[in-house]
Amino acid sequence: MREQHEDFIEQVSAMLTTLENTTALKRLDVVLTMLVTFTEEQGTLLVTVAMSSMRNMHCSFAPTAPTSNNHSFSLSHDPLYRWLHELLTGLLTEAVAHKELAPLDIPYTADAILATLHPGVYQFQRRE
């Protein structure tokens, strides 16, 4: 799976290089289209990997400090997620700076976009 992630990152990076003179929103649109296509093509495998990595995890909203025995669920530990979040945050920041978008909560917006494209959520929505 790591190879597919690395290939995807290379493809997105190459596409962004060719689009460097376009608006941030156009680049964001291309990235999201590529991400949806990747999720669609790799969906079953992505869900299997995502679920197996969450097997021993639990969600906790309690404001406690993590311990070595506390395995909290967080997408931010996934390298692809972190890369995508950083990329989306950068594109959204640029779009706001160039007045392509109204001011917004950029980290939340990036999280919300990525949450809807989480393989499990995406696959569930596709079945509806």
Domain that holds residue 115: 75-128
> Bridge-partner residues for 58, per DSSP?
72
How high does pLDDT run on average in the chain?
A: 81
| 125 is a domain residue | yes
Highest mean pLDDT of the ranges 36-40, 57-61, 89-93: 89-93
pLDDT confidence bin for 59, thresholds 50/70/90: low
Q: Is residue 83 part of a domain?
A: yes
Query: Is pLDDT above 60 for 57?
Result: no
Mean pLDDT across 11-24: 97
> pLDDT higher for 78 or 77?
78
Number of independent structural domains in the chain = 1
Residue 120 structure tokens: 């499990």
50 occurs within a structural domain: no
Whole-number pLDDT of residue 54? 52
CA-closest candidate to residue 42, choices 86, 3, 87: 3
The answer to whether residue 15 sits within a structural domain is no
Handedness of CA 9, 104, 74, 51 (dihedral sign): negative
* Entry pTM: 0.76
In a domain, 52, yes or no: no
pLDDT digits (tens, 9 = 90+) for 80-97: 899 999 999 999 999 999
Rounded Cα–Cα distance for residues 66 and 96 (Å): 35
Structure-token match 């608006």, residue found: 23
